[in-house]
Chain A
Amino acid sequence: MVNELNDETFAKNIVKGNVVVDFYADWCGPCQLMKPMFEKIASEAKNITFCKVNVDKCERAAQEHDVRSIPTFVLFKNGKQVDTLVGVVSEADFKKKLKAVFG
């Protein structure tokens, strides 16, 4: 399951554990392409929380994490930003990144 976050709920949802956040917009074609794959990986992965942030509605979260391109996937470990993926990425490459960062 992928949790939708906003500027108010963002901080408390990334503070603990392994978290991946998808920064996206509804009008962004590549974001829509990545959506099913992100949801699929979310349903399969263990010990990782998957969230998403609509950059049109949550500008602060995007600015605070230096998101200037979408889709951007930000990986957090106990609240600390540890890595990012930008753009359309294959499922294999996405999983490789998650494994490399979260183990």
Chain B
Amino acid sequence: MKSDKKSNAKIVYDAIIIGGGFAGLSAAIYSARYNLKTLVIAKQPGGAIVNATHVENYPGYVSISGIELMQKFEEQAKSVGAEIMIDDVIGVMKHKEGFKVETEEKEFLSKTVIMAMGTERRKLDVPGAKEYESKGIHYCATCDGAFYKGKTVAVIGGSNSSAHAAMLLSRFAKQVYILYRGEEMRCEPILCTNMQQLGNITMIFNTNVVQLKGGKFLEKALLDKPFNGSTELALDGLFVEIGSVPSSAIAKQLGVELTKEGEIKANIQCETNVKGVFAAGDVTNTPLRQGIIAAAQGVKAATSAYIMLTGKKVTGAW
């Protein structure tokens, strides 16, 4: 059956990179520098880090906004000849040229695919969570914190992200609660120190939210343990930082092996079990989800693609 999609079938890329964050753009830079015809298809250029107002642990920058940092990656990728487009890849299938990569309205061919789709935020799964999404429940403190000037908000989670969210919100809100199921925060110690120095962050441990209630907007969270004598916590806003899940659906469809957590299984050279498909960044079974790690994996994935396509050695044991 003839496809209705607009096809770029005359062009066969050497590498199509799915995802435009640290891993995807880093892969693009190296892929293009290897003289591979490279296309990046990104649903959100820059990836998840664009939500961060201050990135302070990417080597080389004392402090830089996420979007600024990724604009530099993008600029570099384009300067060496990588093409970048904003679209959502809905499927990847094997093709005689290698692979066909589909978005809703277009299709592309490539000899190799580098999967760098990253992760999506894990959604809160309690009654009321869906009903009040964007009506008091948020997944991005950077984007939405400013709407809570002088209000009372809470952050769910005990990670670095949770600490950063709480500190950002403390600039706007009169009171910030951290609600965490663990006994203590599991963020970097320096963040705990920073939070303690702010006067309006209160941490509530060993506690879970079991329901969210309100009228048109969120008004309260019901807790599984009392706080200050009550299991009802009056809130204007709730920010959810409970981790993320790998965006690996298209990998699964293609037959790429995943871990039980849904991460793409990539070896040390960022190869997957499907010849010609490589993976990098937070979508993989990486032991540490940090930008610098994802960027390095992007390099490895691009290098593996290059070696596969050319048969050339790069360096050392590779």
B34 proximal to A (CB < 8 A): no
User: Within 8 Å of chain B (Cβ to Cβ): is A33?
Assistant: yes
Chain A residues 7-42 with CB under 8 Å of chain B are 25, 27-33, 37
Among B43, B67, B104, B146, contact of A29 (Cβ-Cβ < 8 Å)? B67
Q: Which parts of A52-76 form the interface with B (CB within 8 Å)?
A: 55-56, 62, 66-72
What mask results when residues 131 to 145 of chain B are scored 1 for a CB within 8 Å of chain A, else 0?
000111010101110
Q: Is A92 an interface residue (CB 8 A)?
A: yes
Q: Name the interface residues of B48-88: CB closer than 8 Å to any CB of A.
A: 50-53, 65-67, 86-88
Is A2 interfacial (CB-CB < 8 Å)?
A: no
Q: How far is the CA of A55 from the CA of B237 in the complex (A)?
A: 18
* B 232-261 to A, binary, CB cutoff 8 A, 1 in contact else 0: 000001000000000000000000000000
B75-111 residues with Cβ-Cβ distance < 8 A to A are 86-88, 103-105
Is B44 an interface position by the 8 A CB rule?
yes
How extensive is the interface on chain B, given as a class? Answer: 20 to 34
CB distance from B276 to the nearest CB of A (A): 26
Cα distance A33–B50 when bound, in Å?
9
Instruction: Given A68-B134, A90-B86, A92-B87, answer yes or no on A29-B45 (Cβ-Cβ < 8 Å).
Output: no
B50 touches A92 (CB 8 A): no
Consensus secondary structure, chain B interface: loop
A68 CA to B137 CA, complexed, in Å: 9
Say yes or no for A88: interface residue by CB 8 A criterion: yes
B144:A37 contact, CB within 8 angstroms: no
Residue B205 lies at the interface, judged by CB distance under 8 Å to chain A: no
Q: Name the CB-closest residue of A to B49.
A: A29
With both chains docked as a complex, state the minimum distance between the C-beta of B55 and any C-beta of chain A, in angstroms.
11
Given known A33-B45, A91-B86, contact A28–B143 (CB-CB < 8 A): yes
Instruction: Please tell me if the beta carbons of B43 and A90 are within 8 angstroms of each other in the complex.
Output: yes
Q: Kindly state the separation between the CA atoms of A59 and B134 in the bound complex, as whole angstroms.
A: 17
Inter-chain contacts of A29 with B (CB < 8 A): 46, 50-53, 65-67, 142-143
Query: Roughly how many angstroms separate A69 CA and B53 CA in the complex, as a whole number?
Result: 16
A-B contact pairs, 17 of them (CB 8 A): A27-B142, A29-B46, A29-B51, A29-B65, A29-B142, A30-B143, A32-B50, A32-B67, A37-B86, A55-B146, A66-B135, A68-B217, A69-B143, A69-B144, A86-B134, A90-B86, A90-B88
